[in-house]
Amino acid sequence: MATQPKKSRRKGRFSRFLFFWTAALAVLVAVLLVQLWAALARYESTTPEAAVMQFLKTVQSADEQQLLEQSGFALSPYEKPGAYRDAVSASLEGIPADREQLRFAKQQKDGACTVKVIAPDASVTLELIEKETGGWTVRPPVPETQSCTILAPSHAAVTVNGQPLPADQSTGSRTATGYEDLADAPQVLEYKLDGLLAAPEVAAVLEDGTACTVQAGKDGAVEITAPVPAAQQQELTDFAWNAAHAYVRYVSRDAAFGEVDVYLHPDTPLRETVRTFDTYWYTDHNSATFANEELLATGSVSDTCCWVELKLEYLVDIGYREVTIPVHYRLYAAQLDGAWKLVSMESL
């Protein structure tokens, strides 16, 4: 009975030792796990996958200038604000910023690294840039761009996406459409804008604030036409209707060449073309009349050169039935000795 206290003391010391040993071991394991977890987190933060996820989040929150600086893309000064960011977002359509929904395939070719990001309904390939400090970053994609050619009278103030386009930014001049055969042809300024992400909104006004006409022209160019001066409008439209009537009647063998010749400019190929026009295929008829006449548009490229677009129907009675001939012309006229003359015409 005298030895029992000694055993209790030894057992107590062992229990305390075991407790402290277990606690120390638990602390050591915890420290190792924390370090391992931190190392794993550091490793994951340097992977291409992490770079992609960071990029997807950046696109959602970063401003356009930040994306431009990272991509090195030279945006046209005449582009709409936010156009680049919208283009980048469009290229990532269908790619969610959710790691669980994405798969990744890193590729390396000719020294360039890319990663293909695959989502359930879309995929995109992004360029990777290796950091000097380790890890990767994604270069924002460079979208496809387009160019725009603008033709405008020198006295028109042009804006592109709301930005003024000064005349000194023109790349030169060219002959106005429809007046290529005129010796002293009117010229229009030519502007060439590169690096655009979408078709621009082009507008133009005259010095007094009168709006100009903007329309798609030949070869994809945007053509700006000034309005016809009010003092010339009535005289010009009367001339255009008379010239159109005379031409239609001439080609249908209802008028002689002299009746249309008075409207033709003598120094252009159009006169000879009309004079030698073969009308053999027009059948004989009893009568003809004009109907459904409509003035569609007018425009001016200079003080002495204007155009008119019109359409009408020529109703021809061939005896047993009436034939309707639709007519749609754009007539390009120039003043000669104070009178309007037809320089060229286009059948639309």
Band (pLDDT 50/70/90 cuts) for residue 41 is: very low
Per residue in 129-174, pLDDT (tens digit) is 777 666 777 888 888 888 999 999 988 999 999 999 999 999 999 9
Cα–Cα distance measured from residue 54 to residue 52, given in angstroms and rounded to the nearest whole number? 5
Give which of 193, 304, 286, 306 is closest to 243, Cα–Cα: 306
221 shares its domain with 269: no
153 shares its domain with 220: yes
Q: What is the DSSP string of 172-220?
A: EEEEPTT-TT-TT--EEEEEEEEEESS---EEEE-TT-PBPEEEE-GGG
Q: What is the pLDDT of residue 59?
A: 80
Q: What percent of the chain is predicted at pLDDT more than 90?
A: 35
Band (pLDDT 50/70/90 cuts) for residue 45 is: very low
Contact 244, 238 (CB under 8 A): no
Contact 333, 344 (CB under 8 A): no
Average per-residue pLDDT in the chain? 83
**pTM summary value:** 0.68
Place of tokens 């030792």: 17
Band (pLDDT 50/70/90 cuts) for residue 188 is: very high
36 within some domain: no
- Overall domain count for the chain: 3
40 within some domain: no
DSSP designation for 348: -
Q: What is the pLDDT of residue 32?
A: 56
Q: What is the pLDDT of residue 38?
A: 44
Q: What is the pLDDT of residue 92?
A: 84
Cα–Cα distance measured from residue 31 to residue 23, given in angstroms and rounded to the nearest whole number? 12
307 within some domain: yes
Residue 153 structural domain: 146-225
Cα–Cα distance measured from residue 77 to residue 86, given in angstroms and rounded to the nearest whole number? 16
Where is the domain boundary, 92, 107, 139?
139
Where is the domain boundary, 173, 203, 225?
225
pLDDT at 103 over 70: yes
**102-106, 112-116, 279-283, 332-336: which range is least confident on average?**
279-283
109 shares its domain with 161: no
- Number of C-alpha atoms within 13 angstroms, CB side, residue 50? 12
185 shares its domain with 242: no
pLDDT at 46 over 60: no
199 shares its domain with 235: no
Q: What are phi and psi of 334, to 5 degrees?
A: -140, 150
267 within some domain: yes
